[in-house]
Amino acid sequence: MAPNDVRTHILDTGLTLVARKGFTAMGLSELLSTAKVPKGSFYHWFASKEAFGEALLDRYFEGYLEGLEHLMGDPDCRARDCLAEYWERWVISQDPSSCGNACVVVKLAGEVSDLSEAMRLALKRGTIEVERRLGHLIADAIAEGDVPADLDPDTTARELYALWLGASLQAKIHRNADPLHLVYRFTCHRLGLYPTLPSDLPPSSSTCPG
């Protein structure tokens, strides 16, 4: 495996473990055992577990933003429809009953923001970039005449992103997707979108652990 591939492999393995267990609960020995790399390889690339955590968050946002850019760059998708698809994907991916795809931002924000300034700043950088791209998408939808023109794109993007992060946390607390569906319907109303997810879902339940 090429050196840079080893670094990427360690980070991707860490992302999988952290999404499931959190950052503090993931021990270095578990990471190395799961990734099947020696301790020397880890310390060749990362000066400490904190430095690894910062790089892990940068890696997470790199992939997240690439996916968002791909969605925004679809020439066959109006900005309004891209926005709707983005929020629909969020509901589906963060539904606790699916037992997967935990949002690393939701998982780690409360845990590491007071633990590591470097990781807090990585979270801040990444979320700002997500909000910036969502603002551009909302601005495009306004220009296309599909979203109310009196909305400020950047402010609206920050407001909605904050609501969705909060709803994702509430979904974890309640172990069901009801908060996600609630904020989805609010978002559709706010942006003038046409919701495609069921609007009259019954209360959901989950048997997912933790």
**3-class secondary structure, 209:** coil
Residue 118 belongs to what domain range?
A: 60-191
Q: Is residue 209 part of a domain?
A: no
Does a structural domain hold residue 163?
Answer: yes
Whether 45 is covered by a domain: the verdict is no
pLDDT in tens, 164-196: 999 999 998 999 999 999 999 999 999 998 876
Q: Is residue 50 part of a domain?
A: no
Specify whether the CB–CB gap between 169 and 106 falls below 8 A: yes
Single out the residue of 134, 120, 123 nearest to residue 163, CA to CA. 134
> Where do we find the tokens 């551009």?
136
Which two three-digit tokens encode residue 117? 């300034």
Report residue 117 CA to chain centroid gap: 20
Give the tens place of pLDDT for each residue, 22-68.
999 999 999 999 999 999 999 999 999 999 999 999 999 999 999 99
Indicate the pLDDT class of residue 75, thresholds 50, 70 and 90.
confident
- Minimal CA–CA distance to 57: which of 11, 113, 110? 11
- Residue 175 belongs to some domain of the structure: yes
pTM above 0.75, yes or no: yes
- CATH number, residue 121: 1.10.357.10
Tell me whether residue 7 is in a domain.
no
Total structural domains within the chain: 1
